[in-house]
Amino acid sequence: MEFKRIIDENRETYMAELFEVLRQESISAEGRGIPECAELMAGKLKSAGIEDVEIIETEYNPVVCGEYHVSDDAKTMLIYGHYDVQPPDPLEEWVSPPFEPTIRDGRVYARGAGDNKGQIMAQILAVKTYIEAEGSLPINVKFVIEGEEETGSPNLPAFVEQHKEKLETDLVYTSDGPMLADGHPVVLLGVRGLLYVELTARGSQFDNHSGNKGNIARNPAWELMNLLSTMKDDNGRVLIEGFYDNVLPPTEKELELIDRLPFDLDDVSRNIGDDSIEFTKADYYRALCFEPTFNIAGFTSGYGGEGAKTIIPAEAKVKMDMRLVMDQDPDEIFERLRNHVEKHAPDVEVEKLGIMQPSRTSSELEFIEPIRRSAEKSFGREAFIQPSLGGSLPDAVWTKILGVPSVVVPYANIDEANHSPNENLVVEHFYKGIETTCRVISEIGELDQGYSI
């Protein structure tokens, strides 16, 4: 493989390019270093041989776009990533400073090393490598690198909607998140969506003495708990009318894929920090990929400090998140939740704090197996296909707004510590990531000869 030789010859220069990007702060939550990083990414696309590069402004942070056009007849793959990072706090827990990339024990340590600069740079450098090896690409490649992923991609849906024509593609390819627990590569075919709400119950105008006002003042904590107990039964089934109406059952093929995935209950227990959980492999992946959650993320009311304080709280709040599966619509579920509250506790306020649509790509598509094979060959480990990620990503902008298939193939190690101090990327994963993307480009180019995506 010619491109393997080029990756080997350029190990140092490629790492230096990654270091340059990692040194540039780009904290979207604090608005730090954003335009500078967008410029830098645009420069990296150009130096990879992509001529058509544009920085497109949005309401907040600009999107960096690039296009390498071969021919109108060739297939097109759009690569998505983000150049923004999470704040590095708490700084004192970093062994080396977050924006001074450092290699220790075969890992690059820096904020953004895994999430997502290391992974998106692997994609950009793959294009560079391929062009150097073959003189051109066998397919059209487009890049969308946004600067707001770490704040929930608020402008991405509108951006994709506005630039539908420019972004036209046959498939979307993303490298983000970690690989499977024991270092196996995985091709993810979707994500769960999200509905985040806050419910507030109010009693008196202020906290009251629990003796002098006991049995007289209303207690909103009980009111909220009673309401919550009407929402879920003892088996964990959500009792909100219509909650499960649009849940799609897994297909035969998806169940087969689950059956092939690795599973070790001890590993799962260790990762969760609870050795009392019991799951079969089938139930574990079903619960993670195909079933919605109904989670209490936080409950706040009254006195939570040291010792005793005898009050009747004036207010109780609960934050809840629901991970939604295909074909649940977060806005519709919100309305159903609101109706439920209206019926059982009309005084409780319901506020929507955030939504994300679920997304799924059919496991039957031709290009999925070649992508799996590409990751397997590059990483030298058996690669798997997982029908959905348990978590959420703005993947629906591709599958629902653009209406194209989308896959996520993580290159980062499971312990990348993204969002935490000492974020890192295993050095070899960076190079293997470059190799994987090269192979994917080559394989999609092959498909182009006879198959359709």
In the complex, the residues that contact Zn ion under the rule CB under 5 A are: 115
User: Considering beta carbons, is residue 115 or 223 the nearer one to Zn ion?
Assistant: 115
User: Considering beta carbons, is residue 362 or 420 the nearer one to Zn ion?
Assistant: 420
Closest residue to Zn ion, based on beta-carbon distance: 115
User: Considering beta carbons, is residue 115 or 376 the nearer one to Zn ion?
Assistant: 115
What are the φ/ψ torsions at residue 244 (nearest 5 degrees)? Answer: -95, 0
| DSSP-assigned letters across all residues of 113-171 | TTTTHHHHHHHHHHHHHHHHHHSS-SSEEEEEEES-GGGT-TTHHHHHHHTTTTT--SE
User: Considering beta carbons, is residue 115 or 254 the nearer one to Zn ion?
Assistant: 115
**Rounded Cα gap, residues 390 and 135, in angstroms:** 40
| DSSP-assigned letters across all residues of 208-223 | EETTTSTTTS--HHHH
Residues 345/346/352/358 CA torsion (nearest 10 deg): 60
Residue 428 Cα distances to 85, 105, 107, 139, angstroms: 22, 11, 8, 26
Shortest gap between Cβ of 355 and Zn ion (angstroms)? 18
Shortest gap between Cβ of 91 and Zn ion (angstroms)? 18
User: Considering beta carbons, is residue 262 or 391 the nearer one to Zn ion?
Assistant: 391
Shortest gap between Cβ of 134 and Zn ion (angstroms)? 33
Shortest gap between Cβ of 21 and Zn ion (angstroms)? 16
User: Considering beta carbons, is residue 15 or 113 the nearer one to Zn ion?
Assistant: 113
Shortest gap between Cβ of 86 and Zn ion (angstroms)? 6
| DSSP-assigned letters across all residues of 274-297 | -TT----HHHHHHHHHTS---EEE
**Two structure tokens written together for 42:** 């645009």
Give bridge partners of residue 197 from the DSSP assignment.
Answer: 320, 352
Shortest gap between Cβ of 42 and Zn ion (angstroms)? 21
**Rounded Cα gap, residues 413 and 422, in angstroms:** 13
User: Considering beta carbons, is residue 115 or 448 the nearer one to Zn ion?
Assistant: 115
Strands 171-174 vs 102-104: parallel, antiparallel or unpaired: unpaired
Shortest gap between Cβ of 123 and Zn ion (angstroms)? 16
**Rounded Cα gap, residues 406 and 370, in angstroms:** 14
Shortest gap between Cβ of 280 and Zn ion (angstroms)? 31
User: Considering beta carbons, is residue 115 or 146 the nearer one to Zn ion?
Assistant: 115
User: Considering beta carbons, is residue 10 or 28 the nearer one to Zn ion?
Assistant: 28
Shortest gap between Cβ of 82 and Zn ion (angstroms)? 8
- List, in order, residues 6 or more apart from 235 with CB less than 8 Å away: none
**Rounded Cα gap, residues 299 and 229, in angstroms:** 14
Q: What angle do CA 385, 389, 392 make, to 5 degrees?
A: 150
